[in-house]
Structure 1
Amino acid sequence: MMLSWLLKFVFPPPPSAFITSMSVISSVSLANAGFSELRGSHLQYSKFWNVGSGKKLTGKEIKLSSRTGMFFFYAPACLVAAASLVLFPDEGLRFMLVTSALTVHFLKRVLEVLFVHKYSGSIDLDSAILITFSYSISTVSIIYAQHLTRGMPEPQLDLTYAGVVLFLVGICGNFYHHHLLSKLRESGDRGYKIPKGGLFNLVICPHYFFEILIFMGISFTSQTVYAFSFTIGTIFYLMGRSYATRKWYVSKFDNFPKEIKCLIPYIA
């Protein structure tokens, strides 16, 4: 009964041990990373560099500049997604939309790293490798899972264009709030300030809220089990990261507005 209901929304799971395994691994590992953020064990980048890493520092850790580390996060996934458009030109509209969305998302992030973001800290090499691997392998998995749907019956409920709309709202909202964050600092300023403007007046991490919409849009367009699994894991991770971010701001700023939520306006 449950399976027949799910098949109204998603393609049948493909006969692929790799995709089946990655569906479980991606959702569980990302959710666990979110719970780690809640517990105070953070991935070591941005304001959480050397905060609650859960490991004893020796002074020999390899650090990357924030610009280099974040470029390293997104560039490989961008190349993978762009290459798939060239290597698989005849996979159909849905495949083209999914791979184009992934390419646009990661290209936007690369361009933001190079031309929008302003930096104040470092990134631990271990965290950079983990995040880079996560983005790259998830991109490969989303594209491969989509490729495996070729010849399968379409889901009864077509979410393709709803996914495109969600993706476009997410990509625009994410960029706008990254732009607002970049405007907080003057040239040479390395300190943190309470963000203002846009949805920052309601939540501390609106850029995460819109990133969730991005991946919801991709999963709606894809309608594969793997894409939904990755998106669910991403939601749990960004929920944990946003909670940790709000907690950090409350600890650093006595005047932090208590009505500002973590991720979802007026709710949480």
Structure 2
Amino acid sequence: MTDFTTISIDQLTELAIHWGTSGFWAAVTLVVGWTLAGWAERAVGGGLARVKVADAMLRGFFASLVRWGLLTVTGIAVLERLGVQTASLVTIVGAAGLAIGLALQGTLSNLAAGVMLLLFRPFRVGDSIEAGALAGKVGQVSLFHTQLVTGDNIQVVTPNSVVWSASIRNMTYFPTRKVDIAVPLSYDAPVDATIATLRALLAADPRIAAEPAPAVVLTKFAEKAVDVVVSVWVPVGDIGTIRSDLIAAIWRECKVGPSA
């Protein structure tokens, strides 16, 4: 009984040393691999930043690709440190390929969608887009997800497949956009003089594009006013400011509004 106990304790001690050593080196491998993956991601992003043809979207995608590749290698190395036969593991994974494919269907579709977004470039980092129910400025496109920042500075992280499968409206693709301002013109107001004043206001603002030319159009007779629409083409980045300035100038100069 004493010999059996002694042998068992010796075996347990040997196993503890073996697994403790393996676990220690596995942890070291994991920490080193994780650190190298982060460093490589930053290095690739910084290196591509010096290449003029590589925009922010391209840099983020390839940096993410390098990081996940190194993490995959790290995971295999950790399993080897723990004594797992990776060759057998690959065989098992291959035999269960259908089940794994079904389990990773969403992840793989996000990866495929990320590649399609990179190839066809419906938008770039910094563009303001609408994709289905989502809207915001593109912050980053990685292997599996797209980051958007909303107008009230909220981060939205959505799978690439959701973005790719939706109808994408790129609000900043073109340098200018059309802005329409509805102006209610009282039936008592001098129509010709008011329209002339509106056209003068538009011509005096250098931020408004000359082509296509600004337009002042009477659209319909409402109950208490004639609806006039002012249409201008302005730089995308100045839409909010120009719209506000025009409304204030129209109110100040034309004194428009419905009849009492």
TM-score, with structure 2 as normaliser? 0.25
Question: Which protein has the larger Cα radius of gyration, Structure 1 or Structure 2?
Answer: 2
Higher relative contact order (CA 8 A, sep 6+): 1
TM-score, with structure 1 as normaliser? 0.24
More strand by share: 2
